[in-house]
Chains A and B, each alone.
Chain A
Amino acid sequence: MDIKVRVWRQASPSAAGKMVTYDVKGISPDASFLEMIDVLNETLILSGDDPIAFDHDCREGICGMCSMVINGVAHGPEKATTTCQLHMRKFSDGDVIDVEPWRAAAFPVIKDLVVDRTAFDKIIQAGGYITAPTGTAPDAHATPVPKKDADAAFEAATCIGCGACVAACPNGSSMLFTAAKIAHLGLMPQGQPERDSRVIDMLQAQDDAGFGGCTNAGECTTVCPKGIPLSLIGRLNSDYRKAVSKR
């Protein structure tokens, strides 16, 4: 496949960036999107240019590092798929593909396509955990959990914290991420003691980090590589209302 990519190039956090067009020739349709960038980077290095910086780690869709907005859609055109699991066969020969970083004030660009997602860590640090010492893995039947709750908590816990929800949100809001964390802990018996303070503190951290407010536009869930359901935001709202009324 011969394609063109237009990539956001930005030398440093303070530098002005711009979209730069590159030709990529002879790419296998079975290459992943990241492998296509790898091939492009090899040609850039050979010609003495600076390679395109981008985040990646596991390349098997579970670490949440890859973060590219491809043709205006976070993680590209394939539903429920991270960028690393997206393959070039989803594109056509001769396509011009635009690649941009996550765009959010809370996710400043470090270089090219790499953004600083420390803001998500701040939200987790505000309450995305339980403080009880858990020791080694307990016996599976030590704390009974209804199957329905276990399944719902696991679905929420599949959030890999990639930030695609923020990248897609017209308001730049991280509500789906925070809602997933609130749900996966709040559905478990171990998460109950800190359930009220968790939702208040995590929402405060989210606001402090400079994320926008949620208007239930629903674009987050359509790009989420793990299909985190929008209904979890309703659960967060409900938890928040109860927590505030108890104060």
Chain B
Amino acid sequence: MAVSGALLVFFLFAHAAGNLKIFVGESDFNHYAEWLRELGTPLLPHAWFLWIQRVGLLVAIGLHIWAAAALTIRAKKARPVKYAHRPKIQGSYAARTMRWGGVIIVLFVIWHILDLTLGKVNPAGGDADPSARVIEGFAPDRWYVTIFYVLAVVAVGFHLRHGIWSAVRTLGQQTTAGERRAKTIALVLSVILVAMYLSVPIAVTTGLVG
């Protein structure tokens, strides 16, 4: 859970940093997308690095879901009779929503790949430049897509708020002062990541970019 999750967090930060290129200019953004395919050349053939990274991500996601499913099944078996009265949860909201939050994030990622990677559900289509897909995909008249992205990215933020801290604990963080530090760092990283991801669709929908 912790190791696969950490790999996914590293990817999320790299992806978010790349997204911000659109604020530099559309051609810079397209150039960045092409550079991703040239990474590793000439050692590797064109786009091989990208595919190796995609396979690595799929393995990490697979392990993450497998571990989460195993924990969920164990939890259900460990409490066969539910409490009649279970009003409030004493833990954090983020910790309580890890499982359903994770399912929502998976569904969002599938939509996101169909939208901006493959262009199947994007008005610009799969053959258009990456920047055109972003700008037409988040056009003001497609405000509902932007709202969906905002909700999904906030869900990612909640997931990471508990997830980053919990990963640090799993990997052996063991002092009470360190626990406070780790929780603060998890919150700050989550907020930064959410802000980085939200800036692009909101800027396009409100007309700041494009």
Residues of A within 8 A of B (CB): 6, 8, 19, 69, 71-73, 98, 100, 103-106, 168, 170-173, 210-213, 215-219, 222-223, 229-235, 237-238, 241
Cα distance, A133 to B147, chains bound together (Å): 67
Name the one of B77, B78, B83 contacting A69, with C-beta atoms under 8 angstroms: B83
Cα distance, A213 to B78, chains bound together (Å): 9
Let me know if B179 and A230 touch, CB within 8 A.
Answer: yes
The yes or no answer to B71 lying at the interface (CB within 8 A) is yes
The yes or no answer to B171 lying at the interface (CB within 8 A) is yes
CB distance from B165 to the nearest CB of A (A): 7
Let me know if B85 and A106 touch, CB within 8 A.
Answer: no
Residues of B within 8 A of A215 (CB): 1, 71, 95, 98, 166
Let me know if A71 and B169 touch, CB within 8 A.
Answer: no
Let me know if A106 and B78 touch, CB within 8 A.
Answer: yes
Residues of A within 8 A of B83 (CB): 69, 72, 100, 103
Let me know if A212 and B79 touch, CB within 8 A.
Answer: yes
Let me know if A98 and B175 touch, CB within 8 A.
Answer: no
Give the top 3 A-B pairs by smallest Cβ distance, nearest first. Answer: A172-B78, A238-B172, A212-B78
Let me know if A238 and B91 touch, CB within 8 A.
Answer: no
CB distance from A116 to the nearest CB of B (A): 14
Closest A residue to B87 by CB, please name it.
A72
Residues of B within 8 A of A234 (CB): 169, 172-175, 178-179
Which of B74, B79, B175 has most chain A Cβ within 10 Å?
Answer: B79
CB distance from B73 to the nearest CB of A (A): 9
Let me know if B166 and A216 touch, CB within 8 A.
Answer: yes
CB distance from A93 to the nearest CB of B (A): 20
Let me know if A216 and B77 touch, CB within 8 A.
Answer: no
Let me know if B171 and A237 touch, CB within 8 A.
Answer: yes
Q: Given that A69-B83, A103-B82, A237-B169 are contacting pairs, would A219 and B89 also be in contact in the complex, using a CB cutoff of 8 Å? A: yes
Cα distance, A219 to B70, chains bound together (Å): 20
* Seed contacts A100-B84, A235-B174; 15 additional CB < 8 Å A-B pairs: A71-B85, A98-B84, A100-B85, A106-B78, A170-B75, A171-B75, A171-B78, A212-B79, A213-B70, A215-B166, A216-B165, A229-B176, A231-B175, A231-B179, A237-B171
Q: Given that A98-B84, A218-B92, A219-B89 are contacting pairs, would A232 and B174 also be in contact in the complex, using a CB cutoff of 8 Å? A: yes
